[in-house]
Structure 1
Amino acid sequence: MIKKLIFLLSIFFTINTSAQQEVIYHIFQRSFFDSNGDGNGDLKGIQQKLDYLQQLGITTILLTPLYQSDLYHNYFATDFEAIDKEYGSFKEYRDLILEVHKRKMKLYQDVEMQYVSGKHPWFTDSYKNPKSEYSKYVYYNDKANEKPYYFWDVPEFTTYDNSKEQIILVNMKDPKVKEYTLKVLKYWIDPDGNGNFNDGVDGYRLDHMMDNLDNANKLTNLFKDFWTPLLNDLRKVNPALQIVAEQADWNSYGQEYFTKGNADRVFAFRLRQAITSFDKKKIEKAADSTFLYNPAGKQQVVFIENHDTDRFASEAGMSIGKLKIGAAMNILMGGVPSIYYGQELGMKGKRVQHPTDGTDIPIREAFEWYAAEAGPGMALWYKDTGPWWDNRNIKADDGISLEEQQKDPNSLWSYYKQLIRLKKVQPALAFGDYKTIPNTNDNVFSFTRTYKDEKILVVVNLSGNTEDVMIDPREDYNISNLKLLSGTPNVILPRDGKNLTMTPYTVQVWRFPKGN
């Protein structure tokens, strides 16, 4: 009876928090905050910065993989059941997640279960050893176990620090692999197995999820044969568990992940591509396709940068107006917004072409806590590593630091904080349906969010010029009757009430009177 009560209370707790306005903060933990001075961001460092995340308005933390790996990003495991010691101990992990839940926040964990490092026991024990107990765990192209399937058909690659590594395909059709995957993922949902999820993850991000893995025609029908039964079993443990699938095809809107893959959420890749273009027609098309055809109860994760993409500030340019437009699109359009650590400061970084796995280090640099280039907690794990350090984006006193921006009410950081608060206090921005609103200017994008009797109009000048625009001449409403919630107040409202004159790269957020 007591166990049943704990289980029911746990479900209530999770459902209660999931019903809140959700804003995800995506952390590449090695680069976030270093609590012990070894140069690596860690779990204790994240716990020490929970006040900061709550101050910004974050409700959910998404961590990149924590498990043991020889690679700096931890995506390919040597041990799925161990936490990388540079991130901390299991106790520090448990302390973090308990504190997260104490604050009514949530924690999602990124996992990649489809490949392992060449140093994982499944491979080291089974290579050239068909009698190994792990012989079927790894995908081999021959019976002698001499020809494994390597990621991207690359037998060996060089890491950023000049070591050699291999990435091996896991045989996801093998029943023991399915059993093991379920065991591992169930464990992190409820580590002590008592039915209370207060010490477990609230969701998983499934990296590189595909039905036909890598389109190689070796592991096919994975949605039906692997993912759907696995996710059904995980939801039996915690019915409120959230599954966020990353489409391997970034040109996909992700509908098949909802209808066939059993996911709760996918990433709005096409919308991100459109936003970074600052092209009105592309944004309208992508937004309509992203928001209008979602199955009930499913969500799109809306983002403008992550650990695999160029930083928005480097892609769109360092104009504060452009950066604020990116913020507004990220937070206000709909779906579940996700902010990549440092995005709120306008951190810079572009992926580079390099024959190692260091390609992404420029977009995974240390969070800039201070105006100076270094300071307590700066996670400069890549210091003195050659080109990754020599060409770093961090510069002293360049305005791209938390220390500098928290003092400035007009900073990008202050704007993110304002937008997140606006989303939380305006029901239409929290729960409202998206609708593209026509206007008369090719450089101005406008949309509404509507929930019950609440309606919000957002108008965005995508250009570097002052633009005159008439908002939806077909509709019978007068902008002069609306309340300006956010944006510069120096707009010109002629008597007809449908025209705006917008200064370069500006965003206006208007609230309709209730019932309109």
Structure 2
Amino acid sequence: MQGLGVQQYRQASNLRSVSAALCKLATLAWLIAVLIAVGWLLPAAAGHAADVPATSPTWRAEKEVFYLIFVRSFADSNGDHIGDFQGIERKLPYLQALGVTSILLTPIVPSPMYHNYFASRFDDVDRGYGDLASFRHLVKALHSRGMKIYLDEEIQYAAENHPWWAESAGHPESKYSDYILYGGAGNTSPEGWAGETYTGKSERVAMVNLQAPAVRHYFDNLFVWWVDQHGNGRFDEGVDGFRIDHMMDDLDGKGKLTNLVAGFWAPLLSHVRTVNPRISAVAEQADWKTFGDDLLKRGDVDIVYAFPLRTAIASLDRDAIAKAIKSTQDKTPAGKGQLIFIENHDTDRFASVVDGDPRKERLGAALTILLKGTPLIYYGQEIGMKGKQLHGRSDGNDIPVREAFRWTHSVDGPGSATWYRDTGPWWTDRYGRDDDGISVEEEQRDPASLLAFYRRLLALRHSRRDLREGDQEIVATNQLALLVLRRTYGKHESLLVVNFSPSQVTGRLPGNVLRVSQDGRALRDLLTNTKSASMENGRVQVSIAPFGVQLLTVQ
């Protein structure tokens, strides 16, 4: 830590933590007694049962809307064309107006790689983004708005210039001797690999020995420090949670570091929650073909990525999506969650996957935000930014899906973080072009824009409990092109109808499609605020455009 090592931090905060905990316990005991006395902790009256869902306990952050920011590319505040903390802070009004409640930052630690995933040290920030003071200022600004911040952590690896590696390589007598996993005698042949950066430089990465007691103790203290920067239990400048990158039981399948889920990650996260029980943990399962249920059960994490569902949505195959929705629900333990997403920093942009078809972009947006789960929006997704990964050894091949956020009609407009200018094909063949219609400036005042559609979807999600935290059921229908889902929370109910066909679909849905069935009652499409369907003989009559989406509710 800046000016304060983890050991000193731990010692300095112990007495304050114990004292604060005792005060909190005394206050809590008094408060509980008062609440019981006035009857506020008695069971709810039976008359309110209609507003209580019949489902399992809700995950603590299910009401959140995550926004994933690739820090280097998001917003530049000082004209150096590198995204930074102050740039993010200046854009908080935009994010809050969009409907975002929590931001997730890609790694912010110093690193020889532009993406910051392999650290030179774990207890500082990349000075291109700002210093620790500016980071804390960003955190406080978020908290003042009622928003949250999550940090992406990949502590399983270290860059070659990390002190643990630099000082222990070839020196078994070093105090960091067992911090790096070596395969040869005398601290030689570190387990890892070499890669090429977008500037053409070769960089090596090594596995951190997560089973070494000193390493485990270090990360226990490090995570607590990110949560409680001053050791005073206030958390106003601390993060609200973590994303664990590349989480797996046997790191890279080498048999060198095993039982990490229950043996390393669960104890670490449990330790952090002794300091702040409200901390949430997001895990990116290393195997994208899985539903992450093992990590949810054994890793003490709250939420994982709905990778199989994302793959199905990208295919636009109705049956594959329906199957993935059901399997995702079945595989998610009670009280845990799934991040619903269609793109991130490691995938092609959805707008490019669907060849820029605005109907399909809206379809993807609706599924991201209206399905049961927690939405994750990747920066620029809401304005339709495009990009596909290139192939090869260079980490520059991912830059096309990590281009500068488009704030203005010009690629070089104010705030644009074009740090990759003139460095390779990812610049000369870039997707973002001046006046291409894909920018906040160009979409801001257009009610028919993709940005306006995302704002509408998120406003609906925030205003309706059935969409935020309700049950979800796939409704069987003989309309082969339609996916129909019922979202319910007590007396609140809506019907999501999606047409995966390039043709208009007109027809009737089953009689049990809505719990409230009244002949002649019109159904309003909440997305357009128009009467788009009706009830006839107990059945819903719909007409939906090619690749169209409707969100119906009884008037």
Please classify the TM superposition score into its range, dividing by the shorter chain length: over 0.9
Alignment of 1:461-500 (within 5 A): 461-473=499-511, 475=513, 477=517, 481=521, 482-487=523-528, 489=530, 491=532, 493=534, 495-496=536-537, 497-500=539-542
Note if contact 1:7-1:195 (Cα within 8 Å) is conserved in structure 2: no
Hey, what's the Cα distance between the residues in 2 that align with 1:167 and 1:384?
A: 26
Match 2:231 to one of 178, 183, 193: 193
Note if contact 1:440-1:469 (Cα within 8 Å) is conserved in structure 2: no
In the other structure, the counterpart of 1:125 is: 167
In the other structure, the counterpart of 2:339 is: 301
Task: For residue 22 of structure 1, report the CA deviation from its aligned partner.
Answer: 1.1
Q: Which amino acid aligns with 2:371?
A: M
What secondary structure, in the 3-state scheme, does the structure 1 residue paired with 2:219 have? helix
What do residues 428-473 of structure 1 show as CA deviations (whole Å, max 9, x unaligned)?
A: 0011011111112222111011111111110011122111343234
Note if contact 2:314-2:353 (Cα within 8 Å) is conserved in structure 1: yes
Note if contact 1:6-1:196 (Cα within 8 Å) is conserved in structure 2: no
Alignment of 1:281-320 (within 5 A): 281-320=319-358
What do residues 168-204 of structure 1 show as CA deviations (whole Å, max 9, x unaligned)?
A: 0111111011011111111000000000111100000
Hey, what's the Cα distance between the residues in 2 that align with 1:228 and 1:54?
A: 32
Task: For residue 492 of structure 1, report the CA deviation from its aligned partner.
Answer: 6.1
- The yes-or-no answer on 1:72 pairing with 2:89 is no
Q: Which amino acid aligns with 1:92?
A: S
What secondary structure, in the 3-state scheme, does the structure 2 residue paired with 1:186 have? helix
Measured at CA, do residues 296 and 98 of structure 1 come closer, stay the same or move farther in structure 2, by a change above 3 Å?
A: same
Note if contact 1:487-1:506 (Cα within 8 Å) is conserved in structure 2: no
Hey, what's the Cα distance between the residues in 1 that align with 2:182 and 2:476?
A: 55
Hey, what's the Cα distance between the residues in 1 that align with 2:443 and 2:263?
A: 50
Hey, what's the Cα distance between the residues in 1 that align with 2:24 and 2:408?
A: 44
Which of structures 1 and 2 has the bigger CA Rg?
2
- The yes-or-no answer on 1:459 pairing with 2:497 is yes
Task: For residue 100 of structure 1, report the CA deviation from its aligned partner.
Answer: 0.3
In the other structure, the counterpart of 1:235 is: 273
Hey, what's the Cα distance between the residues in 2 that align with 1:336 and 1:137?
A: 36
Q: Which amino acid aligns with 1:320?
A: P
What secondary structure, in the 3-state scheme, does the structure 2 residue paired with 1:39 have? coil
- In the alignment, structure 2 segments of 5+ residues that lack a partner are 1-17, 32-58
Alignment of 1:150-189 (within 5 A): 150=192, 154=193, 156-189=194-227
Note if contact 1:266-1:299 (Cα within 8 Å) is conserved in structure 2: yes
What secondary structure, in the 3-state scheme, does the structure 2 residue paired with 1:183 have? helix
- The yes-or-no answer on 1:52 pairing with 2:94 is yes
Match 1:62 to one of 104, 114, 118: 104
Match 1:273 to one of 296, 311, 325: 311
- The total of aligned residue pairs comes to 504
| Stretch deviating more after TM superposition (362-371 or 477-486) | 477-486
- The yes-or-no answer on 1:380 pairing with 2:422 is no
Match 1:422 to one of 460, 485, 494: 460
Percent identical among aligned pairs is 44
Q: Which amino acid aligns with 2:145?
A: R
Hey, what's the Cα distance between the residues in 2 that align with 1:97 and 1:299?
A: 24
Note if contact 2:524-2:531 (Cα within 8 Å) is conserved in structure 1: no
Note if contact 2:363-2:548 (Cα within 8 Å) is conserved in structure 1: yes
Q: Which amino acid aligns with 2:181?
A: Y
Task: For residue 378 of structure 1, report the CA deviation from its aligned partner.
Answer: 0.4
Hey, what's the Cα distance between the residues in 1 that align with 2:220 and 2:551?
A: 45
Note if contact 1:373-1:394 (Cα within 8 Å) is conserved in structure 2: yes
| Stretch deviating more after TM superposition (465-474 or 476-485) | 476-485
Note if contact 2:486-2:513 (Cα within 8 Å) is conserved in structure 1: no
- The yes-or-no answer on 1:31 pairing with 2:73 is yes
In the other structure, the counterpart of 2:20 is: 3
Note if contact 2:102-2:147 (Cα within 8 Å) is conserved in structure 1: yes
Task: For residue 503 of structure 1, report the CA deviation from its aligned partner.
Answer: 1.1
Measured at CA, do residues 6 and 435 of structure 1 come closer, stay the same or move farther in structure 2, by a change above 3 Å?
A: farther
Q: Which amino acid aligns with 1:503?
A: A
Task: For residue 142 of structure 1, report the CA deviation from its aligned partner.
Answer: 2.2
Q: Which amino acid aligns with 2:78?
A: N
Q: Which amino acid aligns with 1:134?
A: Y
Hey, what's the Cα distance between the residues in 1 that align with 2:544 and 2:530?
A: 10
Measured at CA, do residues 172 and 374 of structure 1 come closer, stay the same or move farther in structure 2, by a change above 3 Å?
A: same
Q: Which amino acid aligns with 2:84?
A: D
What do residues 384-430 of structure 1 show as CA deviations (whole Å, max 9, x unaligned)?
A: 11212101111111111110111210100000000000001111001
| Stretch deviating more after TM superposition (74-83 or 288-297) | 288-297
Note if contact 1:67-1:84 (Cα within 8 Å) is conserved in structure 2: yes
Hey, what's the Cα distance between the residues in 1 that align with 2:120 and 2:61?
A: 37
In the other structure, the counterpart of 2:143 is: 101
Note if contact 2:62-2:373 (Cα within 8 Å) is conserved in structure 1: no
Match 1:343 to one of 364, 370, 381: 381
Task: For residue 40 of structure 1, report the CA deviation from its aligned partner.
Answer: 0.3
Measured at CA, do residues 210 and 411 of structure 1 come closer, stay the same or move farther in structure 2, by a change above 3 Å?
A: same
Measured at CA, do residues 238 and 495 of structure 1 come closer, stay the same or move farther in structure 2, by a change above 3 Å?
A: same
In the other structure, the counterpart of 1:441 is: 479
- In the alignment, structure 1 segments of 5+ residues that lack a partner are none
Note if contact 2:519-2:535 (Cα within 8 Å) is conserved in structure 1: no
What do residues 36-82 of structure 1 show as CA deviations (whole Å, max 9, x unaligned)?
A: 11110000000011010011111001000111111100000001111
Hey, what's the Cα distance between the residues in 2 that align with 1:504 and 1:488?
A: 19
- The yes-or-no answer on 1:357 pairing with 2:399 is no
Hey, what's the Cα distance between the residues in 1 that align with 2:220 and 2:147?
A: 25
Measured at CA, do residues 418 and 106 of structure 1 come closer, stay the same or move farther in structure 2, by a change above 3 Å?
A: same
Note if contact 2:370-2:467 (Cα within 8 Å) is conserved in structure 1: yes
In the other structure, the counterpart of 1:145 is: 187
Note if contact 2:345-2:378 (Cα within 8 Å) is conserved in structure 1: yes
Hey, what's the Cα distance between the residues in 1 that align with 2:61 and 2:265?
A: 25
What secondary structure, in the 3-state scheme, does the structure 1 residue paired with 2:467 have? helix
Task: For residue 488 of structure 1, report the CA deviation from its aligned partner.
Answer: 7.8
Task: For residue 121 of structure 1, report the CA deviation from its aligned partner.
Answer: 1.1
Measured at CA, do residues 259 and 20 of structure 1 come closer, stay the same or move farther in structure 2, by a change above 3 Å?
A: closer
Task: For residue 88 of structure 1, report the CA deviation from its aligned partner.
Answer: 0.1
Task: For residue 89 of structure 1, report the CA deviation from its aligned partner.
Answer: 0.9
What secondary structure, in the 3-state scheme, does the structure 1 residue paired with 2:495 have? strand
In the other structure, the counterpart of 2:127 is: 85
Q: Which amino acid aligns with 1:81?
A: D
Match 1:371 to one of 400, 403, 409: 409
Hey, what's the Cα distance between the residues in 2 that align with 1:7 and 1:161?
A: 52
Match 1:327 to one of 349, 358, 365: 365
Match 1:404 to one of 417, 442, 460: 442
